[in-house]
Amino acid sequence: MHNDHISSSFNEDMAELNQYLAELGRLAQSQYAASIDGIATQNVPALRALIDKDPALDALEAQIHTKAFEVIAMRAPAATDLRRVLVSLKLATSLERIGDFAKNIAARTIRISEMGNERIPGVNIGRMAELVNSLVLDALVLIDTPDSQKAVKIWSRDVEVDHLYGTFNQEVLASMSRNTDMVPTGSHLLFIAKNIERVGDYATAIAEQIYFLVEGVMLDDERPKADREITIHKA
């Protein structure tokens, strides 16, 4: 497969687009990793620093959009080039949203820290958070080195996140039912868990886009889901 265009400036445009994407990916993952660290450490200054970094992700997303529009207008990309540009737009949105969820996790963790540890339900969110982190890291590898088979693997692992999310929800709800003092912090934890689950969804969306980039068709099978029938556990 020939990767270099005859036009060197076309190569430069695509390289610039890839560079922005790599930078946004690295930043989104580090924001997410910092947010889940923050749940454990409740290091408020670090969480505030994380929130302050979010505009940088927004700016990178805007740069990717601008560059993609320029490439479409100026280069009239075709085939894989066209898919790469279109996928870049979607990847940028997915990565920026991961950053948004990290910011929301940080903001809610700050609220929880202000309520006191004795009011936090004794539940473990770490396993789900780490699983999602590994999905995000794998998705970033895909952006750098597109591979449709690896994309399918990531895509199918989201069901594990859904299972953990369902279990976590039930545990928090049970804890809140047993002790109403846990309701304020428990509510924030439910939202944090939802944010983490959504980060997993976006890692999956990245895998879907990479599959489309490589194969030229969308994954047509419905992804296995386990979060459609989450029931409220009555203690």
Partner 1 sequence: MDQGIGAARMMKGRANMAKSTASKIQAEDVSVFYGEKQALFNVSLDIENYAVTSLIGPSGCGKSTFLRCFNRMNDVIPHCRVTGSIRIDGIDLNSAEVDPVLLRARVGMVFQKANPFPKTIYENVAYGPRIHGLAANKDEMDFIVEDSLKKAGLWAEVKDRLQDQGTGLSGGQQQRLCIARAIAVGPDVLLMDEPCSALDPIATAVVEELIDQLKERFTILIVTHSMQQAARVSKRTAYFHLGELVEYGDTKTIFTNPANQQTEAYISGKIG
Which has the closest alpha carbon to 169: 108, 232, 120, 101?
232
The helix/strand/coil state of 42 is coil
CA-atom Rg of the chain in angstroms? 20
Q: How far is CA 1 from CA 5, 10, 70, 75, 80, in A?
A: 11, 17, 25, 20, 11
Choose which of 10, 37, 70, 147 interacts with partner 1 (CB under 8 A): 10
Nearer to partner 1, 72 or 226 (CB): 72
Would the CA dihedral through 112, 113, 115, 120 be positive or negative?
A: positive
Residue 129: CB atoms within 10 A of its CB come to: 26
Kindly determine how many residues on this chain lie close enough to bind partner 1 according to the rule CB under 8 A: 18
Name which of 141, 138, 109 is nearest 125 in CA terms. Answer: 109
Please pick, from the candidates 38, 77, 186, 200, the single residue that binds partner 1 as defined by CB under 8 A.
77
Least Å distance between CB 7 and partner 1? 6
CB 3 within 8 A of CB 146: no
Residues in 82-111 at the binding interface with partner 1, rule: CB under 8 A: 82-83
Q: 79 or 232: whose CB is closer to partner 1?
A: 79
Site for partner 1 in 49-68 (CB under 8 A): none
CA atoms of 235 and 232, how far apart (whole Å): 9
Is residue 73 within the footprint of partner 1 (CB under 8 A)?
no
Residue 135: closest CA among 208, 42, 60, 62: 208
User: Of residues 23, 37, 70, 81, which one binds partner 1 by CB under 8 A?
Assistant: 81
Give me the least distance between CB of 19 and partner 1, in Å please. 20
Is the Cβ of residue 10 or residue 191 nearer to partner 1 in the bound state? 10
Binding flag, residue 115, partner 1 (CB under 8 A): no
Those residues with Cβ within 8 angstroms of residue 70's Cβ, 6 or more apart along the chain or in another chain: 13
Stretch that binds partner 1, among 72-80, 87-95, 102-110, 167-175 (CB under 8 A): 72-80
Q: How far is the CB of 87 from partner 1 (least distance, A)?
A: 13
Given candidates 67, 78, 186, 191, which one binds partner 1 under the rule CB under 8 A? 78
Q: Which residues would be at the binding site for partner 1 (CB under 8 A)? A: 1-7, 10, 76-83, 216-217
